[in-house]
Amino acid sequence: MKRPSWWLAENGPADTILWWIILVLLGFGLIMVYSASAPIAQHETGNPFFFAERQGLFVILAAAVLYYFSRIDLDFWERMTFPLMIISLIALMMVFLPVIGVAVNGSHRWINFIIVRLQPSELLKF
């Protein structure tokens, strides 16, 4: 049986079900962001969809990154475990450098990139 073009996974129906669950949860999250932020966005920016649109952009970016990384062979990730751990530990120490680290609410937990802030402790969760 030939799969339709919208069929996301190549490894069987379990992967496809997982992808659909992810997409439904992302959609539900967008609805929640809109419902929680529409009045504030309307008051501050004049556009009730401001925060939902921004979140939608991040959802699209995250889904693309997730799709890309899910296609990488598991052996590659096993080989990269130690180097990625070292990089994560270095990033964790970089938050204390004044030029790179950013204090938010009095705590130094963030690295400031051009358009986003990264919390290195999130990298260590993997």
Question: Which residues, 6 or more positions from 95, have their beta carbon under 8 angstroms from its beta carbon?
Answer: 101, 102, 108, 109, 110, 111, 120
Q: Are residues 47 and 11 in the same domain?
A: yes
What single-letter amino acid sits at 50? F
Domain count, the chain: 2
Q: The tokens of 34 are what?
A: 């809109």
Look up the domain containing 33 and give its range: 1-71
> Which letter, b or e, does each residue of 28-67 get, where b requires 16 or more Cβ atoms within 10 Å of its Cβ?
eebeebbeebbeebeeeeeebbbbbeebbeebeeeeeeee
Q: Are residues 125 and 67 in the same domain?
A: no
* Angular region, 102: left φ>0, alpha ψ -120 to 50, beta rest: beta
Please, how many CA atoms are within 13 Å of residue 26, restricted to the half-sphere of its CB? Answer: 17
Q: Rounded to whole angstroms, how far apart are CA atoms 47 and 35?
A: 13
Q: The tokens of 49 are what?
A: 């969809």
The model's pTM is: 0.62
Which ranges of the chain have pLDDT less than 70? 1-14
Q: Are residues 53 and 93 in the same domain?
A: no
Q: Are residues 11 and 62 in the same domain?
A: yes
Return the SS3 of 120: coil
Q: Are residues 78 and 98 in the same domain?
A: yes
